[in-house]
Amino acid sequence: MNLQNPKKFKMLIDQAHEVALNVLRPISRKYDKAEHAYPKELDMLSSLVDGMNQSGDGLNAGAAVNKRGDTQTGNKNGVNMSTALSVVEMCYGDTGLLLSMPRQGLGNSAIAAVANDEQLKRFDGVWAAMAITEPGCGSDSAAIRTTATLDGDHYILNGEKIFVTSGERADAVVVWATLDKKLGRAAIKSFVVEKGTPGMNIDRLEHKLGIKASDTAAISFIDCRVPAANLLGNAEIDVAKGFAGVMETFDNTRPLVATMAIGCAKASLERIKEIFKDSIDPTYATPYLQSSNIAAQIYRMEAEWEAARLLMIKAAWMADNKIPNSREASISKAKAGRIANEITLKCVELATCVGYNEDELLEKWARDSKILDIFEGTQQIQQLIIARRELGKTSSELK
């Protein structure tokens, strides 16, 4: 088992690292303080990212699934792996700015996961946010109350969504809604609602602990007419698999959230190692039990970080090789989200007053990291999913 990054992605990783250091880091504090202001510097950068994506493997949030029609057999390191490794480096620069990148929204992953070929072509180049969470409906996605009623060649959406990342800035929002509340999970489908559609209203933007460069919106839908052709995937309600189709989105986006956590934690680890460079052995030749307390804590954090990175790599590799990865996606997200919180907060603690003030980015990374253990499924939900997979239980059998 080769645990090194694939050599063919070295140039891509190096480019992402340079962008993180020279583009994202310099404006990180600026947009942390200017919450809800759009980072105009990203427009030029997004054009570069678009070019990388068109050339093949790149930083592509819409690359959550394998390229359609791909017939390659044998071991493959493809677009899921390149995306993961690129996102790590970009979040080494700034997580909030990565989440603000045009055309790299989580809705793009949803489109890639369940859209048909015609929809993939029609929505190519669209910046798509994702709207799932509702008031009173967070971790239990099956409890969605937003409705979609068929009316001729349109669906009429009614409901409210909250915590929609890039909800105001994106070109469209992928909305989860139910076709029939009585049928439960099977009736939940996802719809692409384009910006400016009558009946879709941005009610407010949230003020947050971290990732302030990223806008987070509350959106209401009141008799919002959406073309039936914008229902992603199959419109038929399949009681056996209906919900599984839209849930594939999470299998694809959770490893991406893990990469964000790994990138953010990497930034904190490198900074704390730089601060205490005289207290640690860069060759790791000193036995752990003979190290200073500070060095021992840093070594432990590095070990946990490496474990999280390898779990993320495994989930991305499985996606590239068309191996079901629901269990591994949740494991990678749970591990990385928790470890990122622990590492960034511990680094603030170890750096004392240096880590707590705004002269350093350590305190910002600690604030940014918290959301990475919450969105796309909380730590507790990930553990529940893992337990179901391990024990062979359904969601109704193990709650």
DSSP-derived pairing of the beta strands 172-178 and 128-131: parallel
Residue 244 predicted with pLDDT over 60? no
Statement: 243-391 belongs to CATH 1.20.140.10: yes
Rounded distance between C-alpha atoms, residue 326 and residue 218, angstroms: 28
Rounded CA gap, 352 and 224, in Å? 51
* pLDDT at residue 121 greater than cutoff 60: yes
- Residues 27-37 as b/e (b if ≥16 CB within 10 A, e otherwise) read bbeebbeebbe
Cβ neighbours of residue 2 closer than 8 Å, sequence gap 6 or more: none
* Strand pairing report for 128-131 and 154-165: unpaired
- Portion of the chain with pLDDT greater than 90, in percent: 70
Answer for the pair 194, 172: CB distance below 8 angstroms, yes or no: yes
Q: Is the pLDDT of residue 284 over 80?
A: yes
Statement: residue 337 has pLDDT above 50: yes
Please give the structure tokens belonging to residue 2. 């080769």
**CB-count burial class (<10 Å; 0-12, 13-18, 19+) for 287:** exposed
Burial of 124 (0-12, 13-18, 19+ CB in 10 A): exposed
- Nearest to 106, CA basis, from 138, 136, 83: 83
Which pTM value belongs to this model? Answer: 0.93
Judge contact between 355 and 348, C-beta under 8 A.
yes
**What's the CA gap between 88 and 17, in Å, rounded?**
9
Mapped onto helix, strand or coil, the DSSP state of residue 14 is helix
The reply to whether 376 belongs to the active site is: yes
Can you give the residue ranges of every domain in the chain? Answer: 7-122, 128-230, 243-391
User: For residue 222, what are its two tokens?
Assistant: 């009141």
Mean pLDDT of 326-334: 96
As its CATH architecture, domain 128-230 has: Beta Barrel (2.40)
The pLDDT assigned to 57 comes to 58
Check whether 49 has a pLDDT greater than 70: yes
Residue 158 exposed, middle or buried by CB count within 10 Å (0-12, 13-18, 19+): middle
What is the domain class of 7-122 according to CATH? mainly alpha
How many helices (H) and strands (E) are present in the chain, helices listed first?
13, 7
Helix (H, G, I), strand (E, B) or coil at 204: strand
82: Cβ contacts below 8 Å, ≥ 6 apart: 9, 12, 57, 58, 59, 60, 63
Closest CA to 311 of 298, 295, 327: 327
Question: What pLDDT is recorded for position 72?
Answer: 61
Written as one string, the DSSP assignment of 368-389 is HHHHTTTTTS-HHHHHHHHHHH
Listed range (59-63, 190-194, 263-267) with the worst mean pLDDT: 59-63
The per-residue pLDDT for range 383-399, each reduced to its tens digit, is 999 999 999 998 889 98
Please indicate whether the domains covering 128-230 and 243-391 agree at the CATH topology level.
no
Stretch 213-225: mean pLDDT: 97
pLDDT of residue 55 exceeding 60, the answer is no
Residue listed under structure tokens 């590799």: 317
Cα Dmax for the chain = 74
| Predicted confidence band of residue 68 (pLDDT cuts 50, 70, 90) | very low
DSSP annotation of 181: G
**Residues 200, 230: Cα–Cα separation, whole Å:** 15
Q: What is the dihedral of CA 66, 68, 70, 76, to 10 degrees?
A: -10
Amino acid at 386: I
Cβ pair 227, 154 in contact under 8 A: yes
Q: Which of 89, 134, 304, 376 is catalytic?
A: 376
Q: Which residues are registered as beta bridge partners of 148?
A: 157
| pLDDT at residue 44, rounded to an integer | 87
How far apart are the C-alpha atoms of 89 and 264, rounded to whole Å? Answer: 9
C-alpha radius of gyration, the chain, whole number: 21
Residue 189 one-letter amino acid: K
Task: Work out the pLDDT band at 110, boundaries 50, 70, 90.
Answer: confident
Q: Average pLDDT of the chain?
A: 90
- On the question of pLDDT at 62 being above 60, the answer is no
